[in-house]
């Protein structure tokens, strides 16, 4: 007959052997999720950064166009150059500009397709800017 301490020690060792694979599988799953999250951020964040930069340039252009009395076509051309530099999928016709002596409004709508390997999504953006003359 085995000593009681030896018997419980034997059971403890066999339980530990059975649990060994569980921690490794969890680590692999969490690592895969972390890598996929980083990949998704890598694909999605540039679209948001470009949209932020575009909105900033639109605000700047609205301010300057009142002071410099730019035509609607000049404003549209300037914004389209920014859109091309930022590689945003917008056609020139999608840029809507209203310019009078007292107000300048710039707006557009666009979507950016994002391929996340297992999921395809479209990010929808509607940046706009308005500036009114103080005079």
Summarised one tens digit per residue, pLDDT across range 42-99 is 999 999 999 999 999 999 999 998 888 889 999 999 999 999 999 999 999 999 999 8
Summarised one tens digit per residue, pLDDT across range 98-125 is 988 889 999 999 999 999 998 999 999 9
User: Would the CA dihedral through 9, 13, 15, 16 be positive or negative?
Assistant: positive
Q: What is the dihedral of CA 40, 46, 51, 57, to 10 degrees?
A: 170
Looking at residue 102, what DSSP letter applies? Answer: S
Q: With a threshold of 0.85, does the pTM exceed it?
A: no
Question: Where is 125: in which H helix or E strand?
Answer: strand 120-125
Domain map of the chain by residue range? 4-132
């Amino acid at each position: 007959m085995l000593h009681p301490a030896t018997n419980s020690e034997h059971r403890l060792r066999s339980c530990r052997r059975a649990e060994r694979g569980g921690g490794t599988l969890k680590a692999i799953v969490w690592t895969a999720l972390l890598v996929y999250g980083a990949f998704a951020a890598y694909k999605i964040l540039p679209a948001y950064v470009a949209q932020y930069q575009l909105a900033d340039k639109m605000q700047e252009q609205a301010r300057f166009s009142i002071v410099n009395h730019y035509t609607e076509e000049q404003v549209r051309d300037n914004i389209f150059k920014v859109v091309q530099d930022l590689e945003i999928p917008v056609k020139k016709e999608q840029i809507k500009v209203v310019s009078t002596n007292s107000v300048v409004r710039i707006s557009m709508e666009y979507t950016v397709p994002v391929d996340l390997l297992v999921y395809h999504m479209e990010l929808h953006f509607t940046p706009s800017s308005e500036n009114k003359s103080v005079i």
